Amino acid sequence: MTSLAEHAALLAKVDAFSAAAEAAQGPWLACRRGCDGCCRLRRTAWAVEVDAVRAHVQTLPPARQAELAARRADPAVAAGARCVFLDADGACAVYPARPVICRTHGPVVTSAEGGLQWCDLGFVGLDVAAVAAQVDASSVLDLDRLNTVLAVVNARHLARHPGPARLPLDAALEDSP
Ligand code: SF4
């Protein structure tokens, strides 16, 4: 199995978990197409994720690829105030290939360092104790476990495609080294 195929298999598991989490936490979430609060930054990602986005971009029509490449000069993108892949209507131009962080932002997740955390637009008016009482623990993603697996997949990818472990997501618009 190639490292990109390994990464795709991981994404499928993440999507399945995220769908279950959204179903369980849905009434409290603000996530929907066009809600782009988590896209208003210059996102970085693991190398395997950047290469997966690059592979996806290369499947798009040439005119769309050119449009995305030109966006790197957009003042807001250049200033790091929005992701280069954020379309004007709030959609993601690389949605099928977006990184794990984009797939998991919104519902309640947990980590050793941050404890329970969620998008500020969701669970409005609730504190941590109230959120913990509202959500089924089985719907809470363990970020530490996920990041450990992702780091392993990334390390295998780097063994075949040496380079920085993480880089800006807009590097996906450059030819691979
Ligand atoms: S890759 Fe897509 S979902 Fe992720 S920050 Fe960029 S526009 Fe948003």
Written as tens digits, the pLDDT of the chain (177 aa) is 898 999 999 999 999 999 999 889 888 898 888 889 899 999 999 999 999 999 999 999 999 999 999 999 999 999 999 999 999 999 999 999 999 999 999 999 999 999 999 999 999 999 999 989 889 999 999 999 999 999 999 999 999 999 999 999 999 999 865
How far is CA 34 from each of CA 16, 38, 91, 131, 168, rounded to the nearest angstrom?
21, 11, 5, 25, 23
Mutate to test the pocket of ligand 1, among 35, 46, 56, 98 (most ligand atoms within 8 A of CB): 98
Ligand 1 center–CA 80 separation, angstroms: 13
**What CA–CA distance (Å, rounded) separates 104 from 117?**
11
Question: Looking at residue 86, what DSSP letter applies?
Answer: B
| pTM reported for the whole predicted model | 0.93
Non-local (6+) Cβ contacts of 155 within 8 A are none
pLDDT of residue 177: 59
pLDDT of residue 75: 97
**Nearest 5°: phi and psi at 93?**
-70, -15
pLDDT of residue 61: 97
Residues with CB under 6 A from ligand 1: 39, 43, 83, 85-86, 92, 94, 98, 102, 169
